[in-house]
Amino acid sequence: MIAQDAIIYWLRNDLLVFAISFLIAGIVIPKIILIAFRKNLFDDVNERKIHRGVVPRLGGIAFFPALLFSMALVIAANIRLDDGLMSFAVNGRLMPFLFEVCAIILLYLVGIADDLIGVKYRAKFVVQIFSATLIVCSGMYISDFYGMLWLNQLPLLLSWFFTVLVVVYVVNAINLIDGIDGLASGLSTIALAFYAVVFFIGGEFIYSMLAAATAGTLFPFFYYNVFGDAKRQKKIFMGDTGALTTGMVLVFCAVAVMCARPDFLTDHYNPAIVALSPLVIPCFDVFRVYFHRVRRRRNPFLPDKCHIHHKLLALGMNQRAALLTILAASLLFIGTNVLVSPCINPNLILLIDIFLWTVGNMALTKAIRHREHRLHTSLYD
């Protein structure tokens, strides 16, 4: 049981890193918009894009500096005060955190390059694999499935390989789900808030601060992305820079949950379910899209309009309605999965999630085809 004074102490630190990240991102993002319009740095408009008009896609440039500054400042200030609590919490967590920072830097740089001049997907994969390898080098790797897929302890080499695969997959899933205003940032904020609470309750306070700091960068971006007016030059996208940075933080949090000490989760909550539930929608969606492309003999790495948000738009929803629908679905997956994880086999939970996702997509496709037939046009491919 955490003492009340310790709860107040760590809650204050979480709120501080959130507020500092929020403040920095809130100041920097409008400046990025201003510079982007002065230098004509805009997102291309084509038949696949949903937005109309010129919109900068450099919002993610603000993410990493804001979260790193807030984390470094709060940790250093507390250690300087020599109260002992921060030094104790950092012990054993510093090396994974520093490797995570290195991994984010690599993705941050390749994201900037891609947003400015474009980077081939093969080159991005190489950087992503190397970044994932850094996470494994920190000692953070998935060695136990906790019964998921009827597996428990994995051999060491297989643990390393699987962790690299998971990191690359999740990072790309977050990048690919970024298709309508607020979707990637909204899903990520929900997941980060969930991870922050889980880490806080479990006593992994440094990781809780990391999740809170990252969430703090997303709030001001969400405002400019969703409510900003492109005609008034107040709108911005996160681009690959923001999606890759956020994706790396999210997958690091997921891996950290699965690597935590044995007493981290109480009441028999399954770590695999807790770790993966916030990522269900982006991970399920990218798998379905890749399968759809391969089945139609298309390059699975080339973009199209097959994602879940495209299906909702084809059904006649506007972007706001589609956004709220997907965010509500994410909250439903997280809440239901975690609540039932102490009493239901993790494989049954996974099968139910897959069933619900599959049936939901089939129902959407049927409704879209019916609407196409009624309107005598093609709305979805």
- The model's pLDDT over 48-57, given as tens digits with 9 standing for 90+, comes to 555 456 888 8
31 versus 93: which is more confidently predicted?
A: 31
pLDDT classification of 378: cutoffs 50, 70, 90: low
Distance CA 188, CA 14 (A): 17
50 versus 81: which is more confidently predicted?
A: 81
Amino acid 41: pLDDT: 77
Amino acid 309: pLDDT: 92
46 versus 23: which is more confidently predicted?
A: 23
259 versus 133: which is more confidently predicted?
A: 133
**116 membership: H or E segment, kind and range:** helix 94-116
Stretch 151-160: mean pLDDT? 93
Residue 166 contacts by C-beta under 8 Å, 6 or more apart in sequence? Answer: 142, 251, 254, 255
Report CA Rg, the chain: 21
pLDDT classification of 162: cutoffs 50, 70, 90: very high
| Mean per-residue pLDDT over the chain, rounded | 89
Stretch 85-103: mean pLDDT? 86
Distance CA 163, CA 98 (A): 18
Stretch 38-43: mean pLDDT? 76
Cα dihedral 40, 41, 46, 50 in deg (nearest 10): -110
157 versus 289: which is more confidently predicted?
A: 157
Distance CA 381, CA 379 (A): 7
Amino acid 381: pLDDT: 55
Are 167 and 137 a contacting pair, CB within 8 Å? Answer: no
Q: How many CB atoms lie within 10 A of CB 269?
A: 18
Q: Which residue has the tokens 């973009």?
A: 303
Q: Which residues lie across from 75 on neighbouring strands?
A: none
pLDDT classification of 1: cutoffs 50, 70, 90: very low
pLDDT tens-digit map of 269-317: 899 999 999 999 999 999 988 887 777 777 766 666 788 999 999 898 9
Q: How many CB atoms lie within 10 A of CB 4?
A: 8
pLDDT tens-digit map of 107-124: 999 999 999 888 988 899
Cα dihedral 325, 326, 328, 331 in deg (nearest 10): 170
Stretch 248-260: mean pLDDT? 94
Amino acid 23: pLDDT: 97
Backbone torsions φ then ψ of 270, nearest 5 degrees: -80, 120
Q: How many CB atoms lie within 10 A of CB 206?
A: 21
Are 236 and 36 a contacting pair, CB within 8 Å? Answer: yes
pLDDT classification of 93: cutoffs 50, 70, 90: confident
By CB atoms closer than 10 A (0-12, 13-18, 19+), residue 23 is middle
pLDDT classification of 185: cutoffs 50, 70, 90: very high
